Chain A
Amino acid sequence: MKKTIGRILSYARPYWPFFLLTVAFVLAGTLLALRVPVYIGRAVDAAVSPGHVDYAALRQTALELAGVVLAAAVFKYLGGLCINKLAFGTVRDLRADLTAKLGRMPLSYIDRTPHGDLIARVVPDIEILSDGLLQGFAQLFTGVVTILGTLRFMLGMNVKITLIVVLMTPLSMFAAAKITALSHGAYERQSRLRGDLSALTGELVGAQHIVKAFAYESRAEERFTKVSADLGEAGRLATFYASVANPLTRFVNGLIYAAVGTVGALGAIGALPWIGAMTVGDLASFLAYANQYTKPFNEISGVVAELQNAVSCAKRVFEVLDAEEEPDDSAAAQASDIRGSIELRDVCFSYLPDKPLIEHVSMKAAPGERIAIVGPTGCGKSTIINLLLRFYEIRSGQILLDGIDTRTLSRDSLRRQFGMVLQETWIFSGTVAENIAYGKPEATRDEIEAAARAAHAHGFIKRLPQGYDTPISETSGLSQGQKQLLCIARIMLTDPPMLILDEATSSIDLRTEQRIQRGFQKLMQGKTSFIIAHRLSTIRTADHILVMRDGHILEQGTHDSLMAQGGFYADLYRAQFAG
């Protein structure tokens, strides 16, 4: 917990001027506010009885008091602004770091973690942290200043009673600490369940069309309400435990009050000579100050709940920030002037250590060659792509690009050499033009249109309500095929030296595909291309066909040689046209 707080503070460090200003303003505002009772006393003294009212003094006091409260209000407001800046700036940086971190994580982390849970850390968790910081800072500063200010006044009146008060203070802190320890676990459980709920919500709301199609609503609801009820229960416990702190400190304050009263009263009747001289008036004002002194303690303990909640959320955020990153390779060699020869040498890979997937795969592709990878689903075709682009790192063996081990190249420069179209389309919220120009944001409208034409997407784009400026998203009603055309246009625009087409045209009808093929042919001219497709007719013209099964390369060769061989490929090919 201490470590987490330390890290939150390190994020606040760039805002130290605001921190200082906050302290200064709060100090000024609170000290001025503490003087208000003094002025009230003075005013009361100026109005003693009928005929004995000092109007000049009264006016003077009233004016001064008005000035003091005005100044106090201004300082308070400025202090509030600074706290806002401090808290909001801190969480801005934290959130920006967290989202940037998502770009540096290994793919395995992102594939493994429910997206809803990660989103929960980026949005609600940081929000709770922000609220906690805001209240925590505000109460803490005002509280500390009030305590110190009152202490000064009390010391001026009676050192010994002040000592009693100060010595009893740890009691209230001890109580608060005990409760904090108790509620800590409850808060962690709550924020974990919050993540679970967010993940489940994302999943069930995101796939609502499937829920509906299967009339699964009531059972989806059952699953949801179960986690929801657990979260409610955890939240209730956490909040209750934490809210015990406040009454408890208030109780301790009551004890302090009673102690001051007893000692003061006994002192006043002379039963406790070591206290020193004590009048009734002294006792009255001392009690007033004792009250004022203890109040911040319970205000602070009042926000302990928020703070704890904030800390357990922060912990989840730091968990992600601390996750292992892809090693920094900005210093590694850059892939440039690539001719495009690729060689896999005895490559082994598996997602899970005990479940071998790709085993001892070797192959060679000369620059400009067209390599087709075929095989039954789940044979590891798509995994080869994960390895070529180093989304996952191979376990053993080597992948060479122009004779250079790809592990010695920077990942970004390696990936830039490939243009990739996947079966799973990706459309982000933005305009059609922005989606096409994703890989080349500086592209002109003409270039974008040319790419769209080459991908045969121009026609349907023109029919959209605002053409290229139509806002679209994954759920905005484009068909799967239309999305795929946009993804193809994206590649047409960047024109990289090597291509990977993983079922790139699976959702596109054959007539359109035939037309795009011409574009693809042009695009593939002189480029090393990897094509994964089920339509064997589309890969018949490949220079080299790898037939995979269960993570092994079963056969390789050209279409004709493989047909002549009469093996697995020939079976697959005949099955396709058997109808």
Chain B
Amino acid sequence: MQHLLRFLKPYKKELFLGPFFKLLEAVFELFVPVVMAKIIDNGIANGDTAYIGRMCGLIVLLGVCGLGFALTCQYFAARCAYSYGRDLRDAVFRHIGRLSCTELDRLGTSTLITRITTDVTASQQGVNMFIRLASRAPFLVMGAIVMTFVIDWQLSLLFLAVAPLLGLVLWVVTRKTIPMYGRNQQKLDGISRHTGEDLVGVRVIRAFSRQKQEASAFQDECTDLERSMLSAGRIAALLDPMTFLLMDLGIVAVLWFGGGHVDTGRLSQGDLTAFANYMNQILLAGVQLANLIQILTKAQASSLRIAQVLETETSMQDGTSVPDPSAPEAIAFEDVSFGYAGSGDAALSHISFTLQKGQTLGIIGGTGSGKSTLVRLIDRSYDATEGRVRVFGQDVREMQERPLRRLIGSVPQKAVLFSGTVTENLRVADADASEETMRTALEIAQAAEIVDRLPFGMQTRLMQGGRDLSGGQKQRLTIARALAGRPAVLILDDSMSALDYATDAALRRALETRCEGMTKVIVSQRATSLMHADLILVLDDGVCVGQGTHEALLESCEVYREIYETQMA
């Protein structure tokens, strides 16, 4: 929680001036009854019409000033809250960028999205209301308490008796509701995740005609959420009536004991009236305070969820050295083993190989054999659990992450593009890629004709994730995206699976002839895609069961031979 306070620091001025102007407004508000008393005492008593008129003008003037102060306060409140919200949102987003894949896998995408959107809004609302309400109510309470203390200090002790009770109610209610609000938020996360999943899987759902069941599952989730909100509401709803009740009972006590004090002459009748009035003032301010606390409680629950993300630290320390792409050795694995966090089994065991600059590495193997995992260690998406991964002769853990990744062009298995124009997508790796570089990349990736056919060519806006393109078109564009960064190492993680053979062959030819000197790592199911590689790794269940050239493997590796033969059959 302390974490989030630092986001308010830059807005100290607003945080001070907002409540200050609110206070001024409250002070001016308190003047009004005084002026009215003057009208009664002087104006009416003397029958002075002009005086009454003057004083009423004064009341209007006080109102105008109050309006000005209030607007100033609101202005500062809105400015502070929304700047805070923006900063917080940006910080969470930036922080997510710093987390490693391990933490992102653990946290999950949908909850991160809700935290950036809904939770930040709630926290921001807390700040806004705090500035608008926090000064006025305590000021009125304090003022009234001081006044009562002056009138009859013994009687004012009654307040001090009520105060701890009130505090207790507040404490119990907030303590009980904070975790409940957290649970509500979790349920919302669930609905959000489910909605996202159903949107992605809409074709499967409809192919199975499961829309009704999905709708009823949602219905259940919504009802569950409602139930959970109701039970939090049952406790939260206590706050307001309990505050009223305690304060009113305080007034009852004041009247009862005050009556005795009148009898002994400690207190006049007028004083007793004033006392009850002040008690009433405290009551109203107290209720306002209780409401504020309720808003703050919700904001607190959300803030905790945000702080949780901000406090998640990356399990990967960034290195300091700068990668040197001219090193003769491109990639080397030294007895590397790796297991995903949370799963006991090793996804890769004891992998060793060395690849020289400009060579091509082929990785082949069964489904779930660890091919993708292996390439994800190269750009340090994950750290090896054992052994060492060297890129350009240096341990990946010692190098600065971003320069390293800029040298590596990755094409993931699942082709995902960003919303934006084709140009913007191609410039993901290198913001300054020239038209010529992009054109070359498109040509190599066999994607030039796709772009030529788009209505606005390079400037055509792709919908989110490139959803308006076919699988093969997307794959070719993701390959072009990687190439446009002119990487020293190109990693193709089974990223030609949706291409037909003719395109696949043309692409591979272009890679060979037009990307000389580029080190390539190609994961594929197809032996034909890999047979010309300088080194082929055959993976089976995380273990390297053979490595060498195509010819050598045909001789020595039974698994490889089997793969090759089934394909050529």
Contact = CB atoms under 8 A, between A and B. Distances in A.
B345 to A, nearest CB: 7
Contacts of A85: 230
A375 B240 contact: no
B8 to A, nearest CB: 15
A167 interface: no
A428 interface: yes
Give the 7 A-B residue pairs with the shortest CB-CB distance, closest first. Answer: A377-B472, A481-B367, A103-B211, A254-B63, A247-B70, A232-B86, A80-B237
B230 A243 contact: no
A559 B568 CA distance: 16
Nearest to A93: B222
B566 interface: yes
A221 B86 CA distance: 13
B157 interface: no
Interface stretch (A6-14, A144-152, A337-345, A419-427): A419-427
B244 A123 contact: no
A284 B40 contact: yes
Contacts of B467: 111
A250 B242 CA distance: 27
A72 B40 CA distance: 34
B525 A205 contact: no
A209 B412 contact: yes
A127 B501 contact: no
- Looking at A44, A74, A111, A482, the one whose CB has the most chain B CB atoms below 10 A away is A44
B310 to A, nearest CB: 15
B195 interface: yes
Interface residues on A, range: 35 or more
B153 to A, nearest CB: 19
B408 interface: yes
A219 B431 contact: yes
Contacts of B535: none
Interface stretch (A46-54, A362-370, A444-452, A523-531): A46-54
A212 B269 contact: no
Contacts of B101: 208-209, 212
B97 A579 contact: no
A17 interface: no
Nearest to B273: A44
Given A213-B379, A391-B203, A44 B276 contact: yes
Interface residues on B, range: 35 or more
Interface stretch (B54-62, B324-332, B348-356, B435-443): B54-62
Contacts of B549: none
A557 interface: no
B264 A215 contact: no
Q: Is the interface of B mostly helix, strand, loop or mixed?
A: helix
A80 B53 CA distance: 45
13 contacts: A58-B259, A80-B237, A100-B215, A194-B117, A201-B117, A206-B416, A213-B379, A232-B83, A247-B74, A280-B40, A422-B203, A438-B204, A577-B568
Contacts of B59: 254, 257-258, 261
Interface string A560-572: 0000000000011
Contacts of A194: 117, 121
Nearest to B212: A103
Interface stretch (A158-166, A395-403, A500-508): A500-508
Contacts of A111: 463, 467-468
A239 B117 contact: no
Interface string B93-135: 1101110010011001100111011100100100010001000
A534 B204 contact: no
B39 interface: yes
A433 interface: no
Nearest to B205: A103
B368 A224 contact: no
Interface stretch (B160-168, B248-256, B384-392): B248-256
A50 B252 contact: no
Contacts of A59: 256
Given A213-B410, A244-B74, A579 B269 contact: no
Nearest to B283: A36
B5 interface: no
A579 B527 CA distance: 9
- Looking at A51, A103, A478, A535, the one whose CB has the most chain B CB atoms below 10 A away is A103
